[in-house]
Structure 1
Amino acid sequence: MNVLDKSTILGFVLSMLSVGLFTSEISVETDPVKQVGHGPSKAFAKGADVSWLPQMEATGYKFYNDRGIEQDCFQILKDHGINTIRLRTWVNPSNDPVSGHCSKEETVAMAERAQKWGMRIMIDFHYSDSWADPGKQNKPAAWQGHDFPTLLTDLHDYTRDVMKALATKGISPEWVQIGNETPGGMIYPEGSTANWGQLVQLINKGYEAIKAVSPQSKVILHLDQGNNRERFRTWFDSAQVHGAKYDVIGLSYYPYWLPGNPDYTLSINDLGTNLNELVKRYGKEVMVVEVGGEDNKAQNTYDMLVAVQRKVRAVPNQKGLGVIYWEPEGARSWSKYGLSAWGENGRPTKAMDAFLID
């Protein structure tokens, strides 16, 4: 390659600017869609957890865009500003359409599909055979009866196997969660917060497995009630004292599930304050990895989503990474779940337009 002198470089730059090509090239190279699989992007993540999608399609559910035209759900999400897909993964799930599936193989297939649509990817390890959340953190059946050293190996090897299966398909998730909504810990009883030393050993085994396969993936630890500052401080203080390894603090924010079912306007400022305090206290990035509102109150859910995005964007130094809606496509007519962002007509509600706002 010839080395150009400064005058030649300056002339080239000026000529490209004159026809608008230089600016065009910059925009292509910094487009987050073009960066998938090539390291973290600085673009704000606007996401959707769509782990139900293949089961919905398998049962014949049809998705329609705003004009009533049938389309691939990914196209509809992309047209509403979604650039990130979150996928849960379960160890040995059943075939139940709502509370099963999400095996390693299905998760990899969905991640492949998401990447082909230009989406950034987050993997959510529940470390269970079905739902893990604040009310239940059930140990996978295959791990029952194992002593604690064996559980550490179970978690490490399972995490590594899923990550390697993704890597084989050319997928390097931008984010990976160790556990899902874990205020009381995970993999009960050994990994409960009644024994922080063991919980952190489990977390760190997951961290090691993730980083060994995909060093650039950011590891998330995730709690519910994102507006609850005391809940987060107590938990992450303990995680810090015991040496937990992670990169990002993940928060859920569902005003509907807060005591008394208050409107979001009564807790949104606490969410914003919590985000800022977490960054300052622990030096980590933050992200709302689950959010949702009532499907039959689309305007209110739209307003809430706009407000949440603004709070995350307002975190200093771009430490607020993004906002992910949990199962927006999971229409109540199929899932019986009332916090989707899809209507009875098979179309997205107005709530999804919130992700078009910058």
Structure 2
Amino acid sequence: MASKRPLRATLGIATALAVGCGAAVVGAVAPASALFGDVEITPIESNIAGKFWTTANASSGESTAALAIDQDVDTAWLASEPEPGQWVSLDLGGAYDNVRKVRVVFPDAGAVYQYVVETSADGESWQVIADHADNAQASRGSVDLFTQPGTRHVRVTITGTSPGAAVGVSEISVYNYLRDDIVLGADASWVDDDVTAGRNYWVHPREEDRGAGPHLLDVLKDRGLDYTRLRIFNEPRSEGSGQLTSPAFQSPERSLEVAKWIKDRGLSLGIDFHYADSWADPGKQPKPRAWAELEFDDLVDALYEYTYSYITELVDQGTTPDKVAIGNEVNNGFLWGSEAAGMTEGPVVGTANPAYFRNQAAIYQSQPGGGLLWPYMNSDDPVEQQLYAEAFDRFATLQAAGIRAVRDASPGTKVEIHSLVGSGVGAPVGPGVGNQEISGIEKAMEMWNQTLSRLEHMGQFPDVIGLSYYPEYHGTIDQLEYNMHTIATAYPELEIVNAETSYPASGGGGTPMPNATFPRTIQGQADAIQRVFQANNDIVDNQGGGVLIWEPARWQSMFRSVPGMPNTWEPHASIDIYNLSHAEHIWEDTVFRTVRVGGDIVLPDAVRVLTTADGSVVSAPVDWESLAGGATSEAGVISVAGSTEYGDVTAEFDVVDEFVGLECDEVISGRHAGSLTVDSGVTCLDGSTVSGPVSVEAGASLVSDGSQISGPVIARGAETVLLCDTRVSGPVTLTGSASVTLGNPALGCAPNTFSGPVTVTGTANWNVIAGNSISGPLSCTGNAAAPVDNGLPNRVAGPKSGQCSGL
């Protein structure tokens, strides 16, 4: 009988629940060891409730609210107030347009929880996404599907519980999926070189039907890419000698033709101005030779005219760019000039600089440029402070000229400033004055704060922040999320993109890259890059705009040369992350049920499936695995695997000795002569015979199982009245109780026999009257919720009235 079971024992039940991890990708499998072959790619799914920026608060028990999102089902938020309607609410830190699934897990497996799940954009106006207020089935929780763009808050309100259940929530998971509007693409600038060299790319080069090809862009588009970025060198030169290159790959002129290839295939176009004649990145940002000796004001004009002219050419030929980056990885500035002279330490000048920049310093360092003087960042020297500020003034002035040029030439084109995400949280990236260390995120935020404040003052604020991320240089994926969140919340008006990322499919004997956990295999490549997709998509307020893989056919390549077929390349299976990372369907992947030891396991015939394209929800049949006999012979957890046409499902059955009940303060068995008054605590009648009336006073509780009561049962303001398999010779009058159960076979409470009228009035919470034999009238009025019979009607000799007329 439930009444003898201690309430708190429920939190110690071991379970096999799988609560989603914030850093997981749905269906992640052990990475394959082979270099070539198939991989397993499943749609991206993130538990936003598990992110460090999500917070929880509650109607009561506030100190335990965070336990509802700590990724541990053995802890729980527990309400500290007895009133019905206790709730716990999550703030996801910002809005999300594609959260589609909520999983709620409760503390007590052997209890019934009645609850409502709601979402809100502002924490004030709420929409019900799942109403379980009429639930009568014992279980640990549920999985609910919904479509509500702009969701920031999720609230679970417990409207009722079976007697004795812990009022609280063990875990809430809120799942986010890859948005349709997020841009997944690549920098494929080397396609110019490939076409000139006659390289062929095919999806299936050795099959009779080779699929898309032979152009690299055809293969990329076929695999799901929707955006291509092109780097532009001003006047391409050898990085070693400074001599002009021929052919002039990635020149403005040649890239005009490549832009046509991109737009002809319906792909979006990005332009990445290096503003140099060779590679520009954090370790080298030389001016182009043609601008090297210009005075600063003339340099600003040259950048404007060059940018405006080239964007105009693109627009005029029908290849309007969708986005333009003013410089490439400019976290140390760009167009370095005389500010670099004499800087022997720090990131402005280093051995990475091209030889011609160092060897022809009289030319390239003759006039001021846009280099940043990081060694002076924390200086107390007024002269160094002024030099530091003036460097940022010049950098921002050059950026403003580029932004203005793009907007003058093509007002609808987005403008990006492309930098680094910053190395790991707290990881040193360079020396400071007095041998201080500057952390990656500290330097990144200093760069954005100094630059964007100046650009705002100049009226040339960008649209996009572009961030390169390579784990070997920039830290773990958790550090990436931390740094992007820091930047995004500081500048909520800006879109955040990962302008460059990649991961190798081979090398190092398969050992993961530094700061990564993914092996250097095809599977590891797919998982690593998809994880960056996920991190960008999870940025709050839908600020994540997309991810570009850097040169997927050449650098840490997603292609391989085809054996026996000269000059022919085919994609690794990992490239399918482009078209397989979006979820077309989301389903109820876990079903929770509770059964008593020796009971029957009843599996649902179907689960719910949501179609993301239109938000419709249908039922999908489930094919369950068979169970051996005696599966419920002892307490524990049984997991039953099932499958649908959309994916796998698991049924989690908690097998319990008894359903949850009240812990008895006093137990009366045998004969009790005369009247019985329960004035406090919980009194349990266990097979007892009471020869007199029973009264239950305010705040007290009565539990009766297998007993006989000669006389009326009267309760006024009682906490709980629970009668099971009990004979009462006289009226039963229950007024103002918090919880009433008069029979409930679904939870092991056998029906009662009442020889007299039954009146239930003003019950505030749980209210079940099921399967009883009543020789008098049954009347119910003023209850917060009408009593239910859970599918087992009462046999009533007299009239049924009020809220009980249907019982």
Same fold flag (TM > 0.5): yes
Q: How does 1:190-229 map to 2 (within 5 A)?
A: 190-194=369-373, 195-226=391-422, 228-229=440-441
Q: Is the 8 A contact 2:505 2:524 kept in 1?
A: no
Cα drift, residue 187 of structure 1: 0.1
Selected match of 1:272 from 468, 481, 497: 481
Q: How does 1:79-118 map to 2 (within 5 A)?
A: 79-94=222-237, 96=245, 100-118=248-266
Distance 1:97 1:326, change over 3 A: farther
Larger radius of gyration: 2
2:553 aligns to what?
329
1:247 matched to 2:247? no
1:58 matched to 2:254? no
1:47 aligns to what?
185
Write the letter of the residue equivalent to 1:129.
Answer: D
1:355 matched to 2:578? yes
SS at match of 2:560: coil
Write the letter of the residue equivalent to 1:197.
Answer: D
Cα drift, residue 168 of structure 1: 0.6
1:310 aligns to what?
534
SS at match of 2:561: coil
Write the letter of the residue equivalent to 1:217.
Answer: T
2:152 aligns to what?
none
Q: Is the 8 A contact 1:66 1:347 kept in 2?
A: yes
Q: Within 2, Cα distance between the matches of 1:225 and 1:211?
A: 26
Q: Within 1, Cα distance between the matches of 2:481 and 2:288?
A: 35
Q: Within 2, Cα distance between the matches of 1:268 and 1:135?
A: 23
Selected match of 2:501 from 291, 303, 327: 291
Greater fraction helix: 1
Write the letter of the residue equivalent to 2:471.
Answer: P
SS at match of 1:220: strand
Cα drift, residue 42 of structure 1: 7.4
Q: Within 1, Cα distance between the matches of 2:258 and 2:265?
A: 11
Q: How does 1:12-31 map to 2 (within 5 A)?
A: none
Which segment drifts farther, 117-126 or 226-235? 226-235
1:256 matched to 2:472? yes
Write the letter of the residue equivalent to 1:113.
Answer: W
Q: Is the 8 A contact 1:305 1:351 kept in 2?
A: no
Cα drift, residue 351 of structure 1: 2.5
Distance 1:214 1:42, change over 3 A: farther
Q: Is the 8 A contact 1:295 1:343 kept in 2?
A: no
SS at match of 2:334: coil
1:153 aligns to what?
301
Q: Within 2, Cα distance between the matches of 1:302 and 1:110?
A: 27
Q: Within 2, Cα distance between the matches of 1:166 and 1:119?
A: 15
Selected match of 2:560 from 332, 335, 343: 343
Write the letter of the residue equivalent to 1:236.
Answer: W
For residues 113-155 of structure 1, the C-alpha deviation after alignment (integer angstroms, 9 at most, x for no partner) is: 1011010111001000111001100110001211001100110
TM-score, normalised to structure 2, is 0.36
1:231 matched to 2:459? no
For residues 43-78 of structure 1, the C-alpha deviation after alignment (integer angstroms, 9 at most, x for no partner) is: 211101111112112112221214543522112101
SS at match of 2:229: strand
For residues 79-98 of structure 1, the C-alpha deviation after alignment (integer angstroms, 9 at most, x for no partner) is: 21100010011111146489
Write the letter of the residue equivalent to 1:191.
Answer: G
Q: Is the 8 A contact 2:560 2:572 kept in 1?
A: yes
For residues 223-261 of structure 1, the C-alpha deviation after alignment (integer angstroms, 9 at most, x for no partner) is: 124554223212101112323621111011111345xxx
Write the letter of the residue equivalent to 1:213.
Answer: A
Q: Is the 8 A contact 1:125 1:179 kept in 2?
A: yes
Which segment drifts farther, 201-210 or 308-317? 308-317
Q: Is the 8 A contact 1:83 1:120 kept in 2?
A: yes
Q: Within 2, Cα distance between the matches of 1:173 and 1:104?
A: 14
Q: Within 1, Cα distance between the matches of 2:253 and 2:557?
A: 25
Cα drift, residue 340 of structure 1: 2.1
SS at match of 1:347: strand
Which segment drifts farther, 66-75 or 139-148? 66-75
Distance 1:136 1:54, change over 3 A: same
Distance 1:81 1:97, change over 3 A: farther
SS at match of 1:173: coil
SS at match of 2:526: helix
1:281 matched to 2:493? no
Q: Within 2, Cα distance between the matches of 1:127 and 1:314?
A: 32
Q: Is the 8 A contact 2:189 2:229 kept in 1?
A: yes
Q: Is the 8 A contact 1:341 1:349 kept in 2?
A: yes
What 5-or-longer segments of structure 2 have no aligned partner?
1-178, 238-243, 338-368, 374-390, 424-439, 507-519, 563-568, 583-807
Q: Within 2, Cα distance between the matches of 1:134 and 1:279?
A: 22
For residues 9-38 of structure 1, the C-alpha deviation after alignment (integer angstroms, 9 at most, x for no partner) is: xxxxxxxxxxxxxxxxxxxxxxxxxxxxxx
SS at match of 2:286: coil
Q: Within 1, Cα distance between the matches of 2:453 and 2:444?
A: 14
Q: Within 2, Cα distance between the matches of 1:60 and 1:247?
A: 38
Structure of greater relative contact order (alpha carbons < 8 Å, 6+ residues apart) = 1
Write the letter of the residue equivalent to 1:353.
Answer: D
For residues 259-316 of structure 1, the C-alpha deviation after alignment (integer angstroms, 9 at most, x for no partner) is: xxxxxxx611111222222121012110001011113122212111111111111112
Q: What percent identity do the matched residue pairs reach?
A: 29
Q: Within 2, Cα distance between the matches of 1:111 and 1:121?
A: 7
Q: Is the 8 A contact 2:503 2:525 kept in 1?
A: yes
Q: Within 2, Cα distance between the matches of 1:139 and 1:207?
A: 18
Q: Is the 8 A contact 1:326 1:340 kept in 2?
A: no
TM-score, normalised to structure 1, is 0.80
SS at match of 2:201: coil
Q: Is the 8 A contact 1:89 1:102 kept in 2?
A: yes
Q: Is the 8 A contact 1:128 1:138 kept in 2?
A: yes
Q: Within 2, Cα distance between the matches of 1:42 and 1:158?
A: 35
Q: Is the 8 A contact 1:219 1:248 kept in 2?
A: yes
Q: Within 2, Cα distance between the matches of 1:225 and 1:295?
A: 23
2:757 aligns to what?
none
Q: Is the 8 A contact 1:179 1:186 kept in 2?
A: yes
Distance 1:82 1:97, change over 3 A: farther
Q: Within 1, Cα distance between the matches of 2:543 and 2:421?
A: 19
